[in-house]
Each structure stands twice: as C-alpha cells, then as structure tokens.
Amino acid sequence: MSRTSFVHCAGIMVLGILAAGLALNGLAGAHSGATGIVKERMDAMKAIAKATKGLSTQSWDNLEAARRATIANARALSVHGRDMVRLFPKGSVHGPSEAIGAIWDQPDEFARIAKALSDAADEIERTAPAAQTSQDISGPLSRVTETCKACHADFRKKK
C-alpha cells in the first residue's frame, strides 16, 4: 500500500470513528436528564430497538449462529413486552419522557399491545430452532414491528 493510500484509509477510519462517537453522543443526549423509571423505560426502548434490528438484519449464512442470535433477540423482546406496563406507572411523564396521557387513559389497549409484542417474540423463539432463513420468522417479526408502530402512534409524543 502506498503512503498516499495509507493516509487516505487512515483519514477515512478517523472520520468513521468521529461519526460513530457523535452518533452515540446524540443518543446519550436524548436520554440526558432521564432518571428513575423514565430512564429505565428509555433504556428498555433502546434494547427493544436493538433486538428488533438484530432480528431484521440477521445473516443466516451460519445457521446455528443465526438461530442462537434469533432466540436471544426474541427472548429480549418477550421480556421487555411482559415488563412494559410496569415501566409506565401512572403520572410518570416527568423529565424527557415521550409518553403521553393516553397510556393511562387506555390502559387495557396499552397492555394488549405490550402482550402482542411478547406473543410475537415468543413465536419467533419457538420458530427459531427449526428456521432455515429469515423468511421463517418474517410473520411474527412483522407482528413485532406492528406492535411498535401501534404503540408509538397511540401512546408516544409526535416527533
């Protein structure tokens, strides 16, 4: 590799590292000031997003690794879905919360959506041991993303 090529590659790596740092700082900033239950649920939402992304972008080149990762991500979603109602005690809209009062005005609907998340995640976990491709989990994964959309449409501040 020529010196010019090396310097160019090193420069690109530095820019990538800086961009990643700025992106992570932005995520941290979104949660800055959050404490207690609001921080706990913001962290849970971040974990849900990470698990959902993991499921939707999972490579199936290594079948056993894909199955293990799929099961782990599905379990994370299921746990968070079952814990969702606890994370939103009445009146916890302080700080940087994105929750709106509809959560407490329509608690049965909120609980139904949280249960649908867990149910879809449980189905992914049951399907994963025999899955051959991402197509095998696409039905329940689609239901996971629909629960996220439904909950955000009804119970989250509009951006």
Q: Mean pLDDT across the chain, nearest whole number?
A: 84
> What average pLDDT does this structure show over 96-110?
94
List of residues 6+ apart from 154 with CB closer than 8 A: 102, 106, 109, 110, 113
* pTM assigned to the model: 0.79
Confidence of residue 27 (pLDDT cuts 50, 70, 90): very low
pLDDT greater than 90 at residue 128: yes
